[in-house]
Structure 1
């Protein structure tokens, strides 16, 4: 069930500066409240140029319009944790905290396959997980543009987002930077092809089912199609529409940071639904294609995390054992492929 009565909070970074002012602290507190109460927020004045975002969507459309044999020149490796390259339609099936092999097999072969394709990339300097690119002669300019966009998101992550999260949690503003030095992030380009509306209504196909993200958090860029829904904080099981808003970037908490904060911060279920049929004239029976771009923030794989300072006490015991970031994320990624 989806409703429209509630909306996400908005956090404005215009006055964040270098993170040392009273305004920066206020912004951090507002971000913390959004992450505690909802787990999602619209971000404005991030410093990520809208023109660069629009350009990345243009390149994404060019990429997914290539013939399948060209896209498969950069195949996603069989290992789920190697999030690089192209994944065709149906390759990845989102599962929410399911790890049993038989249950996963049923999800992947069942009636409700996730109807999407994707392309993943990360840091160009990674020695352990190099990028897999479409040959430049097949898509000249794409590698350079995508790398630059990744780096722009990384700059926002380090200079504003992570310091603001730390300030909101009453931690030193550079607290999270020491856990995100290795650039273990992932940029994902997503394409949801158009299809007859009837196949979505029958359940033969889906977009993405209800799930949470794995890592520290996610920056999400939407096109104008819509379809994203977030679980309403006050009504579990009821989802609210999260329409694309020009000039904003969506941010949501991931399961890793929720665990790290001893469940103080909220990793919220969200899903992507196909748009409903248009009323009246003009419904051609075809669902519009959708593009989105996700930048997943990941902690350094070899860093061990335990409950954040201030997130436990006499009235709130520690729920989780310490764990390495890589161990946790790999467990989650391997369940999706």
Structure 2
């Protein structure tokens, strides 16, 4: 089976920034697949490698130290550390019985989530400085680097939709971006095959856009779109790591704003031993909820 990246997901190079040309390429990818590889994105490779290194250091801490930065009980408060099995990704499940059954299969991952430092609604929850000196300072800086990439990509999407470059700015005034570190520890393959465990089950992202940094272990898969949206029949294809690129995908909110012109594609993670998922603005970009209309020019 050929790699999906070779067949369908284009590599878009931002080295020579020509807004109209690259915006057209980006929107074409988001219409057809919902995903794109971005090359020369502006985040130094050494910074990404350092992010993976810090992430490994955090997840290698004793459980008692990680638990000192606990994710709050409230599901909407996306900050701090979640241990293995605490979070369960669900999609289109609304009845209590269905949710209870779904949660019997735990997601085999642990995570750490952070946002902007001056967020008064969701304050960051950091591990003790003595446990991991420099961790907080690095990720505050890395978060800001991701914001810069977000701004460029949102402007490109707007131009590709024949809208002003700043069209989506008003929807992200709060800068409520979320950076998430994910670790998938090894577990027995038969648990996955028998349906007794998941890494991250099939889902779409609920925000605007996700920027993903993945290592060479991979594990990300997206649903084959087939002849059209929702016609993939549940067949998934791997999205391997392409060195020097980041993966960007559209979320549900941007699909809604564009009247489904851009795709929020179903994806999942299988068989990943470790990767850092850096997502800008809420497992993707979390837009201000005050505006949920569609882009008028689309």
> TM-score category by the smaller chain?
over 0.9
8 Å CA contact 2:8–2:33 kept in 1: the answer is no
8 Å CA contact 2:172–2:288 kept in 1: the answer is no
Alpha-carbon spacing, 1:233–1:71, altered in 2? closer, same or farther (3 Å): same
One of 167, 176, 189 as aligned partner of 2:168: 176
Q: Secondary structure at the match of 2:275?
A: strand
CA distance in 2, matches of 1:171, 1:293: 30
8 Å CA contact 2:87–2:107 kept in 1: the answer is yes
TM-score by length of 2: 0.92
One of 147, 150, 162 as aligned partner of 1:154: 147
Structure 1 position 132 matched with structure 2 position 119? no
Structure 1 position 217 matched with structure 2 position 209? yes
Q: Secondary structure at the match of 1:131?
A: coil
Q: Secondary structure at the match of 1:94?
A: coil
8 Å CA contact 2:224–2:235 kept in 1: the answer is yes
**Structure 2 segments unaligned to the other structure (5+ residues):** none
1:245 counterpart residue number? 242
After superposition, residues 8-87 of structure 1 pair within 5 angstroms as: 8-16=9-17, 23-87=18-82
**Structure 1 segments unaligned to the other structure (5+ residues):** 17-22, 276-288, 312-337
Aligned length: 288
8 Å CA contact 1:218–1:295 kept in 2: the answer is yes
Structure 1 position 296 matched with structure 2 position 280? yes
Larger radius of gyration: 1
Q: Secondary structure at the match of 1:195?
A: coil
1:91 counterpart residue number? 86
Structure 1 position 119 matched with structure 2 position 112? yes
1:306 counterpart residue number? 293
After superposition, residues 257-296 of structure 1 pair within 5 angstroms as: 257-274=254-271, 289-296=273-280
CA distance in 1, matches of 2:280, 2:216: 21
Q: Which stretch of structure 1 is more off in the superposition, 256-265 or 299-308?
A: 299-308
RMSD after superposition: 1.5
1:299 Cα shift?
A: 4.3
More strand, by proportion: 1
Alpha-carbon spacing, 1:241–1:302, altered in 2? closer, same or farther (3 Å): closer
